[in-house]
Amino acid sequence: MSDEKKLAIIATKGSLDWAYPPLILASTASALGYETEIFFTFYGLAMLKKKLNLQVSPLGNPAMPMPMPVPVIMQAMPGMQSMMSSMMKKTMKKKGVASVEELRDLCVEAEVRMVACQMTVDLFEFDTKDFIDEVEYGGAATFFEFAGKSDICLYI
């Protein structure tokens, strides 16, 4: 067991697009035999809710491929964010890409350790009853226990 590779991830974003990288990397690493831990902090805590409602926004991200050209100001109009999020989910499904929920389930099944940052939970007044049951709680010091002996450590 001590020869097992280790992957530590800090997941700080909670949008629909940026929820994917930590979950894809964690589930892939687990499948490759890595011991994996994700530390969820700041906006990344939104990924731990039982009922996910992640959204995506093109604002401030000129590199986001759009199905058609939309002026920036229009991207800020009411309803645009929900529409974009709904479209992204449909495209993902059509292309056979797993949903965030499915990837998270994969991680749980693969025994990826999931730690929520207690400080941010308190700061943003998240209700931990809304989080999935597999979550543990800790702080930055908890994170370093595992990260300090990891082979790969990513801040996402």
- Chain contacts with a copy of itself (rule: CB under 8 A): 5, 10, 12-17, 20-21, 24-25, 28-29, 31-32, 34, 41-44, 46, 54-65, 71-73, 75-78, 80-81, 85, 91-92, 95, 97, 119, 122-126, 139-141, 144, 147-148, 150-156
Distance (Å, whole) CA 150 – CA 52: 29
79 three-state secondary structure: coil
Which CB sits closer to a copy of itself, 108 or 118?
118
What six digits make up the tokens of 23? 């979950």
Query: Which residues lie closer than 8 Å to 12 by C-beta, 6 or more apart?
Result: 41, 42, 43, 44, 155, 156
Q: How far is the CB of 71 from a copy of itself (least distance, A)?
A: 5
Which CB sits closer to a copy of itself, 7 or 114?
7
Q: How far is the CB of 94 from a copy of itself (least distance, A)?
A: 10
Q: How far is the CB of 56 from a copy of itself (least distance, A)?
A: 7
Which CB sits closer to a copy of itself, 122 or 133?
122
Which CB sits closer to a copy of itself, 60 or 133?
60
Query: Which residues lie closer than 8 Å to 61 by C-beta, 6 or more apart?
Result: none
Distance (Å, whole) CA 103 – CA 106: 5
Q: How far is the CB of 109 from a copy of itself (least distance, A)?
A: 17
Q: CB neighbours (10 Å) of residue 47?
A: 26
Q: How far is the CB of 134 from a copy of itself (least distance, A)?
A: 20
Name the DSSP letter for residue 128.
G
140 membership: H or E segment, kind and range:
helix 140-147
Which CB sits closer to a copy of itself, 72 or 136?
72
